[in-house]
Structures are given as C-alpha cells and as structure tokens.
Amino acid sequence: MTGGPNEVWSYGEQAYPILRDHLLLRERLHPYLRRLSEDAHRTGAPPMRPLFFDFPEDERAWEVDDQFLLGPDLLVAPVYEAGARARRVYLPAVARWLDPVIGRALEGGSTLDAEAPLERLPVFVREGADVADLFG
C-alpha cells in the first residue's frame, strides 16, 4: 500500500471497483465539466443548480429539493437515506430524459422509482445531449 488512508484502494475490495468506475466516469465527463466551468465564468450560471434553473416554467421543478442538475444536461438524484437502494425521481417537463442504465428515453414531467444500488447513483441525461455517450 502507498499513499494515505483515503486512496481508492484503501476502502477495501468491495469499494475499489465502485470508486474506480466513478473516477473513470469523472474523467470521461471532464470536457463537459470544463465547459460548465467556462460558462460559470462567462455568464455566472452555476454548474450545480436546482431543477427550476433550467425549467422555470415547470411548477414541480420548483418543489424538488433533493435532486440537482449538473449543467443543463445531467440530472442527479443522490440517495440520502442510509441503506436505501431506490428512490423517487422527478424528471422535469419540456424534455425527455435518458436512463443510461436501461438505455431508454423517459418522458419529462413524470416521477419514477429509480434503482440505486451501491455501485450506481441515479443519473439521467437530457435527450440529445452530447454527454449521453459517456455513460454505459
């Protein structure tokens, strides 16, 4: 072992492949994240934002306080409850959302039960977004 107690391999055999996959996804998302940072610098738009930021006409988007958008194209639904392996997710209206796990488009303006196994955070991609190819 090298490095400190917070290296990805220091959390054990079960955690290592999960952490490795997330690090690889972060690397694939790097160009998208760079664009978001440039947009934040140029326009002041926050990279991490509430749903109503991009969907102000969607009344339900104003009520969601446990999900967020990472830029305009990624909807992230963190799991806040210890031991939970699923959660309710609201998909904002006026867009269709791709579930990269099942590989199908879902209608916006709807709520669904998203699976959230330990190795995966519920993330949805706005249909037509370039970043859709980065998941899988």
- Taking only the tens place, the pLDDT of each residue in 1-29 is 566 777 888 788 888 999 999 999 999 99
Cα–Cα dist 59/99, whole Å: 23
Buried b (16+ CB within 10 A) or exposed e, 6-43: eeeeeeeeeeeeeeeeeeeeeeebeebeeebeeeeeee
- State pTM to two decimals: 0.89
Return the pLDDT at 2: 62
Angle CA 9–37–59, to nearest 5: 100
Per residue in 63-119, pLDDT (tens digit) is 999 999 999 999 999 999 999 999 999 999 999 999 988 888 999 999 999 999 988
